[in-house]
Structure formats: C-alpha cells, structure tokens
Chain A
C-alpha cells in the first residue's frame, strides 16, 4: 500500500508542479503571441513600479494611478486612433531588477515610453539604460534635483519648488527661526538640507542641528530627546517611508505637540499619515504641489474616479498625481508629433506640453525637462487630510540647479552646446545630460 501511495504521491506532485509551471508560462507565450498579432493596433507603454518588496505600498499606488490614466485615455479613443497598452513589470524594490526590467521594456517590448521609478536609487539605476538605448522615462517623484538627463522627464517637484516659499513662510508666518534638521542618510535628504541651509542663511534663520539616521532605522527616542533639549522651535524632517510613521508617532508619545515644535516636511504625504493615524500628524506642516484636499474641479473628478476604481478608503497624494498626469503628457506628446519615435518625443513632443491636472495647469519646461507646478503648504488635520493654508498665486518654474547654490550651472536642452553633444551617438558621447556650465 505504502509503495503505491508514495508513487502516486510523487507522480501527482510532479504533475501538479508541472501543471503550475505550465499554467504559469502559458499566459506568457499566449500574451506574447497576442501581442505580436496585435502589433500596430496598440501603442505600448511600460509601467515600472515595484509591486513586491519594501517600497511596494507607495509604488503600487503610482502604478494604480498610471493605469487609471491610461484607462481614461483609452476611453476617450486612445492616441492616434490606437489604444495605449500598458506593459507591467515588477522590479521587486531592487535596483538591479529595475535596470533589468527597464532593459526588457525597451529592447524586447519596444515600448514607446516608460512611466516608472520612485526612489532616486531606482532612477539612477535605470538612467544609463535609457540613455544607452534612447528610451523615454517619465519620473513622477519629487527628488533632490541637480540632474537633467535627455531621456528623462521629471514630473515631480524639485526642492526649489517646495522650499523656496516654504522656508521663508516658516520663518515669517510661523515666526520660527531655529531649525532642527533630521533626515535619512542618503542622497535625497542630504541634497534637500543643503538647500534648506542655504535658504536659512538667506532669510535669517538658523540651523540648530543637522542629523541623519540610517535608512530603515525606526527608533528615534535619542533624536527626540535631543530635539527637546536643543532649543529649536521647528523640526525640518526629510525622513522617508516607514521612518516617517515611526518618527511622528514617537514624537507625539514623547509629549511634544505641534504647537510647541511643529514638524515641517517636504515629503510626508497623506499615505504616511494614513499609516500612522491622523492624530499623530495633526498640526504638522507639509509643502507640496498637490494635496488630496485641493479644491479644483479636476481634483474632485480625479479623487472620485480613483476611489471608484480602487476602493472608498484609497487616498491620493502628490506623487500619484504626478504619475497620473505624466500619462496624459505622454499621450498628448504622441498626438502632437504623430509618431512614437523617441527623439521626436524628446525634442518636440514632450517639452512645452501642458495639461489641466488635479493641482491646476501644469507644463513641462521647454528647456530643462522638469515641470511647472503650484507650490502649496498644508497643515495636517484630524481627518488625515491637509488643510491648505497657503497657495502660491502663480505656478513656479522648475530649477534643477538653484541659482543661490549653483550660480554657474543651468540645464538647457535647447542650448547649442548641449544639442551638439547629444547629436553624437551614445558610443562616442555618453554624457546625455543637459547641464552646462556658464
């Protein structure tokens, strides 16, 4: 009996496993052959956001926003009479896989452009791939700037758009001058704080301390002790991800209220507030170009559609909004040049493209591939949303190189010297940046 049992067990296991594998690979070949047959009838757009791993929570929300935008574009008839077909890849929160998948999207799927990446690390890992194979990347995250790649369009805010008004506002309106800077120990916080310090210097503020905690560290009691005894009157935080949740919680548990020492941040979104519980964030400030509570008619439609598609409790945030409107930028650009050629999109299609986004009218700068946005300041309320306490009257031009830190540098893709350099093939000239020294 045992013999038969064992054998049948083995056989069924093998069969089951084979079945699972076959079932797994079948859709791959199936979709591939469908894709081949349908080639020409659709325009492929790559979606490159982690659906598994440590940053999957925030990245899958960007993935969702982009899919929503593509659905809306297709519902309106698509682009050039063709439907946009999203090609989804999961880079698993690992930079190597980001680079690998980017290569796959460009070389094997031959997508017209990729909407993707969230962290600076992932963007930096895929940029060489995009530059080498001349692809188009639309990158939605606020980031540290000081970069401009020919093949990348940056639809998130640069520090100057978030800080140039925020820091003086904290000093003048809140009347708080002594800043305690705390951030995660990597490129984004370091670069952002460099600008904060320059602005403090310019507007008569003062840096009490500057601290960096290891990425992923979620124990802040020593830091909070130091904050309490430092004599600062505002904390400027560029902690990221789970750190934000831990820091705000421990801050409140320690007993410091937002009235005593408010936390001001250029990166804390509705997403993190939902994770930490609204009571922990209430009263603290964030500077962004978009909040879910922004009162434009477009935003109401966006939030409603998003909730209808992904559930009542889904929240939107600035990065998602940028991911959402970058898909429209792309569709309009293809429509404009009537082509899916990368160079046509890069030189003519995308620069200067305007779109009435949830935050207001946004535009890709003609010269530097970054985006004109509407700076706002929000104070977190008890419902986990932001009350917009200040909105700029006009949109703000993106400046990847801020003049008060880098007076000799600028980014201009229409400049002759840059065009000259970019005309050469990649194998001869690997510098694909639009940065020039004046």
Chain B
C-alpha cells in the first residue's frame, strides 16, 4: 500500500453502519413479561403443589445455567465444577435454617443441635458455626464466599495463563475435593445424608421472590453481555490471543466474569436450599455441574434466553419422562444432547436466533455451516498448538 493510500485510509474514517440490536427488543420484553406472568400467577390457576415446587426449583436451575452460560457461552471458560459455588451457597443457607429449626424442634436425641452433629458425638454447636445461627449472615456468606472462592480460583489459574482444558480439569478437581470434604466432615455438614428436615420456604410468596431474583439476574446478564464489556468478553471467547494483543487484560476480564458467575450460582444455591428443604453433597458434585452444562448447551450457549429454555426443557423432560419411561429417559436425554451437539451447535435458542436473523439472506444450510465454523473455532483451545481458525492462515 502506498503512503498516500494509507494516509487516506487513516484519515477517512470508513462509514460503518452499525445497527446495534436494542438492549431489550420488544419481543423479548413482551415474551419475558409473559413468562414471568405465567409462572408468577401459577399459584392462582394451578392447584398442584408438586408443580409449584418444580417451578421454584427450575427457576434456580435456570439461574445456575445462566451462570455457566456467562463464563462458557460468552467467555469460553468451560467449568466442570460450577456446582461448587452453587453448593457452597446452598450449604450456608441450609445449615443456618437447620440450626434454627433444631432450636424449636428437638431432634431424635432431644438435643438442640442438628442430628448429624449428635450422632457424630458433638454436644454443642461448634463455635465457628455459631454465627450461622443468624440467617442474614448466612445469606451474606452464601453470596460472598462463592464470589471470593471464584476470585481465588481466578487469580490462581487465569493470572497464570491456565485456560481451556486445564482449567476445566482444575474445576472438576475442585468440585471433587469439596464433595469429599463434605462427606468426610459429616459432623459439620451432614455427610452422606446431606442436610434435611428444616423449615423451608414454600408457597407463592417465596416463588415470587425466586422469580424476581431470576428476572433480575437474566436482565443483569443481558446488560452485562450487551455492553462494551460483553463485546470484550465475546472477543476473549472467540480469540483470547487477539484480545490480549489489542491491549485487553484478558485475565482480569476472565476473573471478573468468573466472580459474577459464582455470585449468581451461590444465589441460585441459596434459593434452592431455602425452597427445596434438602441439600446433599450431590449438589456440589461434578455430575450436577456437567448436567447444567448440558442444559446450557441444549438451550443455546452464548444467548441469554438459552439457559432458561435449556433448564426448563431438559429438567422438565426428565421429570415427566423418568416416571413413565424409568429405564429409557436417560438415554433420551443423552440422545437429545448428542443431537444438539451434532446438529444444533448453537443450541435451540441460538439456532432459532440465527435462522431469524438470516432468514432473508441465507438458508438453513448456511446457518448450520456458520454454526459449524464457529464451533470449529471454539475448539481451537482444545487442539494442539498450530491449529488455525477460519480465515486465519497457518503459521
């Protein structure tokens, strides 16, 4: 390029027509309000206590899936141990509720401490757990401790440039460690039996609370990912090396979004424990984490609505199918996942969105190819060094 042409290119700013989608398109606003109304009014039109309990649970699952979507779908950090943050939040609230419950409802041995402490030989609530008697304190812990854990994790890994598959393995280990810890220190955690039999919050009022928190989190997710920050996060997810070259401190962005996501997971866990009235070591385990990854993938990662759709769809299918098709439903859910991974790379919501966006200019085939290409790019992190992206020349 000659010097003049270069100067021209620099001075003449190219006219770029940027048509940003609005923060909240009308259809999303109406649809979202519709869903909120549909769920929120269930206590009025539905009389089934079982369905009510499922709705509250599914909302917690949706928030949990959203927390995975933020780090995985948008920023490209696959965590197989996200349930750690969910579980920590859940355990804080459950322990607090249990401690308070035993004050008024003596357990099997008649003491005023939880039964799992009694049968492990404790005679009083250990002093380091005493502050948890205060529910507000426990709620603060349920939100802050997961966030701090995530911060610690982020500083250890992202700051030292540990990404991709190694990061996933570390999160997996983290969740196994927590699980073992809970089972081993059963005098304080209830161990294998988990924590059960305390007064949980059931009924319409708490459902609305969960619904409200869920709505706020999904809006937060949208605001976060639709902003400049969201663009940076997506660019990190697409190509972290380029993002780094452009001057962004990739590690800090990753740490930030990881902390936000842990906060959401902790909140989801706290609401879950208060609603369901039962937590166990399984709520902190890798299986649960992977399950939530599946919900996100099925719904559509990298979209805000995806986790919600995925959690409701997969969990819903599980609860309705596992009764009538006891032996088959797991294969069905597995099949659904394989189908999504093979064919609907962007998940249900992502595929529909692509299709709507490109309806005038492209066929279904093109959209599928695009999704393929994107998926190929994402897999770069998992491949040996030297693999190239689309449009990138081999070095």
Q: How far is the CB of A213 from chain B (nearest CB, A)?
A: 11
Which partner residue on chain A sits nearest B52 by CB separation? A107
Q: Do A89 and B108 touch across chains, with their CB atoms under 8 A apart?
A: no
CB contact under 8 A between A127 and B110, given known A96-B276, A107-B49: no
Check if B192 sits within 8 Å of A186, measured CB to CB: yes
CB distance from A244 to the nearest CB of B (A): 16
Check B109–A92 contact: CB distance below 8 A: no
- Measured in the bound complex, the distance between the Cα atoms of B193 and A95 in whole Å is 8
> How extensive is the interface on chain A, given as a class?
35 or more
The reply on A120 being an interface residue by CB < 8 A is yes
Residue A21 CB within 8 A of the other chain: yes
Closest residue of B by beta carbon distance from A7 = B365
User: Which chain A residue lies CB-closest to B110?
Assistant: A437
**Interface 0/1 of B206-239, CB less than 8 Å to A:** 0000000000000000000000000000000000
Chain A residues near B368 (CB, 8 Å)?
A: 6, 10
Could you tell me the dominant secondary structure of chain B's interface residues?
helix
Q: Which of A3, A52, A147, A190 contacts B108 (CB 8 A)?
A: A147
CA distance A51 to B278 in the complex (A): 22
> What's the Cα separation between A169 and B321 when bound, in Å?
50
In this complex, the interface size class of chain B, counting residues with CB under 8 Å from chain A, is 35 or more
B321 to chain A, nearest CB (A): 5
Tell whether, in the assembled complex, residue B317 and residue A21 are in contact, meaning their CB atoms are under 8 Å apart: yes
Q: Are A27 and B324 in contact (CB under 8 A)?
A: yes
Q: Could you mark each residue 158-187 of chain B with 1 if its beta carbon is under 8 Å from any beta carbon of chain A, else 0?
A: 000000000000000000000010011010
A148, B303: Cα distance in complex, Å: 50
A127 to B194 alpha-carbon distance, docked (Å): 13
Which of A125, A146, A430, A435 is within 8 Å of B196, CB to CB? A125
Q: Does B365 lie within 8 Å of A214, measured CB to CB?
A: no
B27 at the interface (CB under 8 A from A): no
Interface status of B6 (Cβ within 8 A of chain A):
no
Which of B48, B49, B278, B323 contacts A99 (CB under 8 A)?
Answer: B278
Across-interface contacts of A108 in B (CB, < 8 A): 48, 50-51
A99–B339 Cα distance when bound, in Å, is 31
The distance from the CB of B180 to the nearest CB of chain A, in whole angstroms, is: 8
Chain A 401-438 per-residue mask, 1 if CB under 8 angstroms from chain B, else 0:
00000000100000000000000000000110101010
* Cβ contact within 8 Å between A124 and B343: no
Chain B neighbourhood of A352, CB < 8 A: none
Complex contact B323–A104 (CB within 8 A)? yes
CB distance from A26 to the nearest CB of B (A): 9
Q: Does A311 contact B (CB under 8 A)?
A: no
Per the 8 Å Cβ criterion, residues 127-164 of A in contact with B are: 127-128, 133, 146-147
Is B278 within 8 A of A215, CB to CB?
Answer: no
Give bound CA distance, A14 to B343, whole Å.
Answer: 9
Contact (Cβ within 8 A) B321 A28: yes
Q: Is the beta-carbon distance between B325 and A95 smaller than 8 angstroms?
A: no
- Check if B193 sits within 8 Å of A124, measured CB to CB: yes
A51-B327 in contact given A24-B332, A108-B48 (Cβ < 8 Å): yes
A96 touches B48 (CB 8 A): no
A146 to B108, CA, bound (A): 7
A96 with B283: CB separation less than 8 A: yes
- In the complex, the answer to whether B48 meets A146 with C-beta atoms within 8 Å is no
- Does B328 interact with chain A (Cβ within 8 Å)? yes
Complex Cα distance, B320 from A10, in Å, reads 27
Interface residues of B in 284-305 (CB under 8 A from A): none
The contact string, 1 if C-beta is below 8 Å from chain B, for chain A 8-37, is 001001100100110011011001000000
Mask, B251-262, CB within 8 Å of A = 1, is: 000000000000
* CB closest chain-B residue, reference A103: B50
Q: Within 8 Å CB of A87, what residues of B?
A: 323
CB neighbours of A128 from chain B (8 A): 196-197, 277-278
Cα–Cα distance between A88 and B321 once the two chains are bound (Å): 12
Per the bound structure, the CA–CA distance linking A103 and B280 in Å amounts to 18
Q: Which of A82-122 contact B (CB under 8 A)?
A: 87-90, 92, 94-96, 99-101, 103-104, 107-108, 120-121
Interface assignment of B149: CB less than 8 Å from any CB of chain A = no
Whether B191 is near chain A, meaning CB under 8 Å from some CB there, is yes
In the assembled complex, A185 has its CB within 8 A of some CB on chain B = yes
Contact of B322 among A27, A92, A430, A433 (CB under 8 A): A92
Taken together as a complex, chains A and B put the C-alpha atoms of A20 and B338 apart, in Å, by: 13
CB of B199 within 8 Å of the partner chain: yes
Chain B contacts of A382 at CB under 8 A? none
Nearest-CB residue, chain B, relative to A31:
B324
Q: Give residues 89-136 of B contacting A (CB, 8 Å).
A: 105-106, 108-110, 116, 119-120
A187 at the interface (CB under 8 A from B): yes
Contact assessment for A89 and B282 in the assembled complex, using a CB-CB cutoff below 8 Å: no
Is B326 an interface residue, CB under 8 A from the partner? yes
B333 closest partner in A (C-beta) = A24
Q: Does A191 contact B (CB under 8 A)?
A: yes
- Asked if residues B119 and A25 are in contact (CB atoms below 8 Å), the reply is no
List the A residue with the shortest CB-CB distance to B118.
A146
Contacts of B283 in A (CB 8 A): 96
Query: 8 Å CB contacts to A: which residues of B56-99?
Result: 57
**Which one of B193, B282, B330 lies within 8 Å of A187 (CB-CB)?**
B193
Query: A215 vs B120: C-alpha distance in the bound complex, in angstroms?
Result: 15
B336 close to chain A: CB less than 8 A: yes
* Bound CA span A120–B197, Å: 13
B192 CB contacts on chain A under 8 angstroms: 121, 186-187, 215
What B residues does A52 contact at CB under 8 A?
A: 326-327, 330
Contact between chains at B194 and A95 (CB < 8 Å)? yes
CB distance from A146 to the nearest CB of B (A): 5
Q: What's the least CB distance linking B336 to chain A, in Å?
A: 7
Other-chain residue from B50, B183, B186, B197 in contact with A124 (beta carbon distance below 8 A): B197
User: A101 contacts which chain B residues (CB < 8 A)?
Assistant: 323
Decide if B335 is an interface residue (CB 8 Å cutoff): yes
- In the complex, which of the residues B106, B186, B324, B343 contacts A28, with contact meaning CB atoms closer than 8 Å? B324
- Verify if B382 is at the interface (C-beta below 8 Å from A): no
Query: Is B329 part of the contact surface with A, judged by Cβ < 8 Å?
Result: yes
Complex Cα–Cα for A101 and B321 (A): 12
A13 and B320 in contact (CB under 8 A), knowing A24-B328, A51-B327, A95-B280? no
Decide: A185 near B365, CB < 8 A? Known: A95-B194, A125-B196.
no
**At the interface, yes or no: B364 with Cβ under 8 Å from chain A?**
yes
B354 within 8 A of A: no
Which A residue sits closest to B106, measured CB to CB? A431
Report Cα–Cα, A335/B292, bound state, in Å: 47
Contacts A10-B364, A99-B276, A103-B53 given: A28-B323 contact, CB under 8 Å? yes
B278-A96 in contact (CB<8A): yes
Query: CA A180 – CA B250 in complex, angstroms?
Result: 58
Chain A residues lying within 8 Å of B321, measured Cβ to Cβ, are 24-25, 28
The answer, among A10, A27, A214, for a CB contact under 8 Å with B343, is A10
Contact residues in B for A147 (Cβ distance below 8 Å): 108
Evaluate whether A430 and B119 lie within 8 angstroms (CB atoms) in the complex, with A185-B191, A409-B110 already known: no
**Cross-chain pairs A/B with CB under 8 angstroms, 10 sampled:** A6-B368, A17-B339, A25-B321, A90-B326, A95-B278, A95-B280, A125-B193, A127-B196, A186-B191, A186-B192
What would 19 more interface pairs be, CB under 8 Å, given A124-B197, A146-B108? A3-B365, A28-B324, A52-B330, A87-B323, A99-B196, A99-B276, A103-B49, A107-B49, A107-B50, A108-B51, A121-B193, A121-B194, A125-B193, A125-B194, A127-B197, A133-B49, A187-B192, A214-B180, A214-B184
Show the binding face of A for B, using Cβ within 8 Å: 3, 6-7, 10, 13-14, 17, 20-21, 24-25, 27-28, 31, 51-52, 87-90, 92, 94-96, 99-101, 103-104, 107-108, 120-121, 124-125, 127-128, 133, 146-147, 185-187, 190-191, 214-215, 409, 430-431, 433, 435, 437
